[in-house]
Amino acid sequence: MLQHVYERVAMARYLTNVIIATDDQRIYDVARNFGAPVRMTRPDHPSGTDRVAEVASADTAEWVVNVQGDEPLIDPGAIDAAVLPLVEEPSIPMGTLKKQIEDPAEVEDPNVVKVVTDRFENAIYFSRATIPYMRDQAGDKHADEPLHYKHIGLYVYRRDFLLKYPALPVGPLERAERLEQLRALENGHKIRVVETEYESIGVDTPEDLEKVSKLFEASLAGVMPNG
């Protein structure tokens, strides 16, 4: 699974170097076995962003992308879409992705993080709760407009902002929601949110692994020649 993530991330056209960051010797050994650059980090980081910041401190890249290691189906195009706003607008310190929610059950699922944005696609808030709350949808002529979006946990940072991130105060919203991206918002920093069609499928359980394995098998069956 880790190798699939590494190889797909390496296909993103805006990335020039891909590094696996871990504090686990087993992951380190697996990454070395398939030839990926890997860095061991401190084991006490409270979030993935803090871990990425440690690795970035020893690098000179202008932008840094944080991709979760449990996303074997990550879309390289989605990575490029998240990077592009930071390339075009130097004032943006951080970027991420959102996708319109199509399954109504996900709207109220606390494991699905929701995001709301302003007219300029900057994040207003991220929450495990249902946001926005539909107070009176009946009779609303705009009721069919898409309002609920899930957050896709891929982050792009401008390097100078990322290096300052671990020192930012952790606020009550981050502590309450247990969402690291809220640290940026609570400290007054913008997060540009790009809409994508990529449906994130993280592998957190044996059931997730089975589902992703079947998707891989179906994909391979679709490209193999007859006979």
pLDDT at 227 over 60: no
Q: Give the C-alpha distances (Å, rounded to integers) separating 218 from 136, 137, 145, 208, 212.
A: 43, 40, 33, 15, 10
Q: What is the pTM of this model?
A: 0.85
Q: Is the dihedral of CA 118, 121, 127, 131 positive or negative?
A: positive
The tens digit of pLDDT for each residue in 24-72 reads 999 999 999 999 999 999 999 988 899 999 999 999 999 999 998 888 8
- Between CA 116 and CA 105 the distance in angstroms is 18
The half-sphere exposure of 216 on its side-chain side, counting CA atoms within 13 A, is 14
What is the per-residue pLDDT for 72?
Answer: 83
User: Mean of the per-residue pLDDT values for the chain?
Assistant: 89
- Between CA 35 and CA 50 the distance in angstroms is 25
Nearest to 123 by CA among 67, 66, 82, 184: 184
Q: Which two tokens stand for residue 100?
A: 């319109």
Domain ranges within the chain, ordered by starting residue: 47-134+145-223
The tens digit of pLDDT for each residue in 156-202 reads 999 999 999 999 999 999 999 999 999 999 999 999 999 999 887 77
CATH class of the domain at 47-134+145-223: alpha beta
- Between CA 80 and CA 12 the distance in angstroms is 6
- Percent with pLDDT over 70 in the chain: 89
What is the per-residue pLDDT for 12?
Answer: 95
pLDDT at 222 over 60: no
